[in-house]
């Protein structure tokens, strides 16, 4: 993902319901917006992830905490990150945003912070894996603490070393569809504005792994540019408002969703 490139703006020729609320009829969840077929397409993709998940809805059991950790030399990021937290909160999701920002002097300290703050959420680490003063190999331990897998941590660290920028990986319970945790690594070489945009995108990328797995996720869910700022499209807002409803839970199937009744 190259944040320097402007996001393609999508004009949605879709008729949304005049209301955005949803209701439950028996075991079925009524979808008023976005259109049911669009929500199904992104929530239950027909790709390897969809096959791997058995067409189960992949989602966190509870609204995930967003933890951002940055090296001490980037302490000035606090204002930018605080603005990002506020932007996410204003996006109108039905779930509250639990967030925190802190700086670390070493990866060992970052690992202790993860232990203290909790690892079952979205952890964004601004880190230079090749910075010798931080003992680069120790970042793998931080990522392992988040992902619960040395193999996943190794793959994410290796990719970040060879292609610094923004990369992420997550851990999912394949038997239930529950998303357990997500780790994202962002290069500290970006300026503060670009790091802020990467954090904003990282949060939404982590919420719905199924939607993220589709090639047009970025263009359908985001619009804007580095210069003007990146925000959710109207479709993105409608999708996440419905997806984040507490009655939409991991493990649901496409048959659990129906069109909103006319009123």
pTM: 0.86
- % pLDDT > 70, the chain: 88
Find the domain containing 157 and state its range.
59-233
Query: Which residue did the predictor score with more confidence, 24 or 180?
Result: 180
The band of 18, judged by pLDDT with boundaries at 50, 70 and 90, is very low
In this predicted structure, the answer to whether residue 136 has a pLDDT above a threshold of 70 is no
Q: What is the CATH number of the domain that holds 171?
A: 3.40.50
pLDDT for the residue numbered 130 = 75
Q: With respect to residue 12, please indicate whether it lies within any of the assigned structural domains.
A: no
Residue 25 in any domain: the answer is no
**Res 259: pLDDT:** 93
Q: Is residue 17 part of a domain?
A: no
Domains contained in the chain, number: 1
Radius of gyration of the CA atoms of the chain, in A: 18
Contact (CB, 8 A) for 39 and 261: no
pLDDT confidence tier of residue 237, bands split at 50, 70 and 90: very high
Within-domain flag for 192: yes
Asked, for residue 10, whether it belongs to a domain, the answer is no
Please determine, for residue 190, whether its predicted confidence score (pLDDT) is greater than 80: yes
Query: What is residue 165's predicted lDDT score, i.e. its pLDDT?
Result: 82
Q: What angle do CA 12, 3, 242 make, to 5 degrees?
A: 40
How remote is the C-alpha of 104 from its chain's centroid? 23
Predicted pLDDT at 262: 61
**Mind listing the pLDDT tens digit for each residue in 75-86?**
899 999 999 999
């Amino acid at each position: 993902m190259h944040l320097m490139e402007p996001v393609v703006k999508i004009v949605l020729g879709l008729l949304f319901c005049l209301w955005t609320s949803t209701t439950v009829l028996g075991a079925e969840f009524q979808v008023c917006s976005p259109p049911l077929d669009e929500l199904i397409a992104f929530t239950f993709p027909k790709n390897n992830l969809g096959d791997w998940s058995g067409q189960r809805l992949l989602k966190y059991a509870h609204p995930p905490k967003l933890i951002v950790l940055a090296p001490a030399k980037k302490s000035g990021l606090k204002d930018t990150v605080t603005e990002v937290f506020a932007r996410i909160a204003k996006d109108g999701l039905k779930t509250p945003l639990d967030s925190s920002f802190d700086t670390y002097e070493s990866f060992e300290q970052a690992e202790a912070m993860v232990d203290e703050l909790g690892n079952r959420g979205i952890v964004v680490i601004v880190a230079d894996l090749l910075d010798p003063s931080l003992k680069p190999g120790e970042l793998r331990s931080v990522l392992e603490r988040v992902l619960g897998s040395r193999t996943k941590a190794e793959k994410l660290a290796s990719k970040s070393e060879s292609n610094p920028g923004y990369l992420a990986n997550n851990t999912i319970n394949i038997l239930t569809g529950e998303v357990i945790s997500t780790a994202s690594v962002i290069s500290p070489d970006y300026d503060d504005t670009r790091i802020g945009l990467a954090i904003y995108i990282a949060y939404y990328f982590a919420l719905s792994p199924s939607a993220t797995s589709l090639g047009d996720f970025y263009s359908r869910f985001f619009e804007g540019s580095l210069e003007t700022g990146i925000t959710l499209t109207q479709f993105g807002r409608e999708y996440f408002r419905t997806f984040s409803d507490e009655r939409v839970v991991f493990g649901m199937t496409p048959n659990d969703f129906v069109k909103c009744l006319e009123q």
